[in-house]
A and B are shown apart, each in its own frame.
Chain A
Amino acid sequence: MFLSYLKIAWKVLLRRKFFTFISLFGISFTLMMLVVLYALFDDAVGPARPELRADRLLFINRMILRGPQSQSASSVGYDFLNRYVRTLRTPEKVAVSERGSVNITLYVGEQVVKVDRCYTDGNYWAVLDFDFVAGRPYNLAEVRDAARVLVLNETVARRSFGSAAAAVGQRVQLEGQPYQVLGVVRDVPTSRELTYAECWLPVTTTTADLRDPGFMGDYQAIVLARRTADVPAIQAEYQQVLARLPIPDPGQYQEIKSYARTLLAHYMASHNNAAGQDGDAASFWRQWVGLGLLFMLLPAINLVNINVSRTLERAAEIGVRKAFGATGGMLIRQFLLENVLLTLLGGLLGLGLAALVLHLLNESHFIPYAHLGVNGRVFGVGLLLALLFGLLSGVYPAYKMSKLPANQALKGGIAL
């Protein structure tokens, strides 16, 4: 039966090429837009290097002090993270790094190279999954000893030394001090805002005071859970620690708000100070899924109209099928399958177009170091959207067609 439906579906697509073209254009363009948006989203929060184990990672990078009259929000202090987050019992490992990157100047011989810097501890390389193309990361001992070493990204290494391999062992000048290049990692796109940098240095080489006891500062903790199931326990443990802390400046503030958030929750909460631990996920998804559906609605209505207007064309076929024993449900399945086939075809075209747009985005360097593309997740979401689109635009026409009275359809004598 399925094969017969497929045969008919294919023939119907070929029967009215102009209608098919219009339908496919609408579907593929809509899906292309949605797939590109999802690819951008996936590029920022999907499990990819260096946040390959995103399901086991938690980020503590925001502290809010609230009082009746005032509120203060900032990244977290190094000393705070050292004392209260490194000592958490549930995580496997805790890394501390500068929150966000700072543009600095490196001197490579006579060459002046502007790079985005990030100070990190030694655990950083074990908690995250950077892809070293040459050399190695700095270790715990080198961080403890404030060794003047650094890691560069591939683009800066190539630009400065010709190749990644050639960069390893070379010396550069930073703030009047010589640093040795220990390793080169594959570029991290700027969309990975919590791990992006072009140059990584041991945190102990900073001139800032790491012993400042203030809760706020310029740092973040990246917490690696032993397994995904431990994530809620770590979040709970962190909240317990916070609850025991004395509130700094109690005359001004009454509560401390800080969360250990997943990458996705961080992303969702990034512009929302009121967001809770999950980044106010429900509201985020409501808005985005709603927008996505709204975006699909217009071409879906167009397809519904085209399908309904083609009902007459299929009237005699519907009559014959009913006469020979097709139930309403069977006809609905047939017409839905036909529509889903059309939308899947549109989906594949949309994915192809999206791949092209993403390639052009990469080439344009609109997002520095982005390697946007149609990976497995993006492909899956694209097909899922096409399926959803097919069902959305197919159910009503299929229902209408299935309800067509067989005797009237046959009496109409409409040629098939």
Chain B
Amino acid sequence: MTNLFTSATDSFQSQPATAPATGAGRAVLQLTGIEKVYQTRTIETVALNHVNLTINQGEFVSVMGPSGCGKSTLLSIMGLLDEPTSGTLELDGRPVQSYSDKELARLRNHKIGFVFQSYHLINDLSVLDNVELPLLYRSGVGGRQRRQRAYAALEKVGLGARTGHFPSQLSGGQRQRVAIARALAGEPEIILADEPTGNLDSVMGEEIMDLLLTLNREQGTTIVMVTHDEQQALKTQRLIRFFDGSQVS
């Protein structure tokens, strides 16, 4: 099992995210019959109901639906932060259910980058230190290399001059850019963005959306974005709608 995992990681490393999206169409995430049920003593809540979904490499997919329809749960399961109650999730063609917590952490570190609605930057760390975070947990990346890669990621989002700032010194849009830079620093194959523009005004929201589109177009990064904004969703390659835990389109 460890060998499988290692080879998955290696195959990712041999294909940097900066390369153009060769082999588009290969399924990077495959969800088959995914169900998620939250159970308390008295209530059973079905968050996801038999979801079958394929995300191909290089795709920019948006997920829409009313609050509580299971969008974020879907993203958590795709991001290996939560386990489905039943069904299979395959990452790069390999089912992830059998992986240990440690192996899942390594997969998240190498393959997935997260962007959250409320940024979730660590206020006690500088912008540069925040962006270094994914590399901090990656073996074989030294301090100097970490800083170089974090700086490069910040340059990409136009914040190369703000490395020494702290999150509290930045605007909402800038914070979300830092969050995107953090997601990019580890050069992941997939970015999972949970309402990345939800806390921003329309102008800043557009900026962030343009940034994600550019990333997808120029670097071939696969992006799955949960959003409430129809206009933004229409800019992506595919729009999936959810209602009451089920995919409706």
Contact = CB atoms under 8 A, between A and B. Distances in A.
A324 B124 contact: no
Contact of A322 (B72, B105, B122): B105
Contact of A326 (B105, B113, B118, B132): B105
Contact of B116 (A8, A321, A410): A410
Interface in B119-173: 120-125, 129, 132-134, 136-138, 143
B70 interface: no
B87 to A, nearest CB: 17
A330 interface: yes
A1 interface: yes
A284 to B, nearest CB: 44
Nearest to A316: B120
B186 interface: yes
Contacts of B76: 407
Given A325-B138, A328-B101, A407-B81, A320 B133 contact: yes
Interface string A237-249: 0000000000000
Interface string A303-338: 000000000000011011111111111100000000
B118 A7 contact: no
Given A1-B136, A325-B137, A407-B82, A12 B129 contact: no
B136 A416 contact: no
B41 to A, nearest CB: 18
Contact of B109 (A15, A320, A325, A411): A325
B122 to A, nearest CB: 5
Contact of B118 (A327, A329, A406, A415): A415
A376 interface: no
Interface in A1-25: 1, 3-4, 7-8, 11-12, 15
Nearest to A1: B136
B94 to A, nearest CB: 18
Contacts of B125: 4, 7-8, 11
Contacts, number: 80
A405 B104 CA distance: 13
A416 B82 contact: no
A176 interface: no
Given A322-B105, A327-B105, A328-B101, A7 B129 contact: yes
Interface in A255-303: none
Interface string A388-416: 00000000000000000111001101011
B124 A319 contact: no
Contacts of A317: 122
A415 to B, nearest CB: 7
Contact of B120 (A319, A405, A407): A319
A interface majority secondary structure: helix
Interface residues of B, number: 32
A326 B124 contact: no
B114 interface: yes
A4 B105 contact: no
B122 A320 contact: yes
A324 B129 contact: no
B114 A327 contact: no
Contacts of A411: 72
B133 A11 contact: no
Contact of B124 (A1, A12, A407): A12
Contact of A324 (B72, B101, B102, B134): B134
A46 B124 CA distance: 45
Contact of B123 (A4, A329, A410, A416): A416
B151 to A, nearest CB: 16
A323 B82 CA distance: 11
A407 B194 CA distance: 12
A324 B182 contact: yes
B177 interface: no
B129 A322 contact: no
A323 to B, nearest CB: 5
A324 B109 contact: yes
A326 B102 CA distance: 9
Contacts of B72: 411
B20 to A, nearest CB: 26
Interface string A20-48: 00000000000000000000000000000
A121 B124 CA distance: 69
Given A7-B124, A321-B133, A323-B108, 13 more contacts: A1-B136, A1-B137, A7-B125, A8-B122, A11-B125, A320-B122, A323-B81, A324-B113, A325-B137, A326-B105, A327-B137, A407-B82, A416-B124
Interface of B: 72, 76, 79, 81-82, 101-102, 105-106, 108-110, 113-114, 116, 118, 120-125, 129, 132-134, 136-138, 143, 182, 186
8 contacts: A4-B125, A8-B124, A319-B120, A322-B81, A324-B114, A324-B186, A413-B118, A416-B122
Q: When A and B form their complex, which 6 residue pairs have the shortest distance between CB atoms, in order from nearest?
A: A325-B109, A11-B124, A325-B137, A407-B76, A407-B81, A324-B134
